[in-house]
Amino acid sequence: MRAIAGYRGDISTEFALKLLPLTFVRPGELRCAAWDEFNLKAAEWRIPAARMKMRELHLVPLATQAVALLTDLHTLTGKGHYVFPSIRSKDRPISDNTINAALRRLGFSSDEMVAHGFRSTASTCLNELGWHPDLIELQLAHAERNESRGAYNRAQRLGERRNLMQAWADYLDGLRTGNAAAVPVRDEASLHGQQH
């Protein structure tokens, strides 16, 4: 998180690097993000089904840190279609390899970190920190492995997911500043969710 905070380069790449850990969406979902998918007042990002691996609309609650970054970025790229336009053409998003190339520039080898790795890192840490696995899986937009449960359970648990995303962003801030131990990560909703 400290290395990412110090990244200096193309503005689209810089903001993509900062937003990917906060949202832990798939890199392709992030790089192709369009401004019309965002409601910053509601702190929501609605990724259309056509851009999702599972072909279902995915709602990403945005932590205050993500909203602040997007608000700043909107002043720079908000007149165009793409949130992260390519340096070569504003009519295209950053490339598939942009974030990985930025991680290499920061000194991380492909064995240490790749763009997709923010998803597994978030999943692992949130599970270790005691968040309910169902919330994490919902936020990762993973398909329900139990077909019967998947057919009947359409609950999105949005309020709990908002809490999870804000706690995660606060935790990442704590890692960046060196004060992660002081950040409470679980909340009562998560604790109750584990008991049921």
Residues with a catalytic annotation lie at 26, 53, 116, 119, 142, 152
Asked whether 183 and 170 are in contact (CB, 8 A), the reply is yes
Asked whether 65 and 169 are in contact (CB, 8 A), the reply is yes
- Tokens at residue 19, please? 């937003």
Asked whether 141 and 53 are in contact (CB, 8 A), the reply is yes
| Angle in degrees, 0-180, between the axes of helices 117-128 and 11-23, rounded to the nearest 10 | 30
- Tokens at residue 4, please? 């990412």
- Tokens at residue 94, please? 């950053």
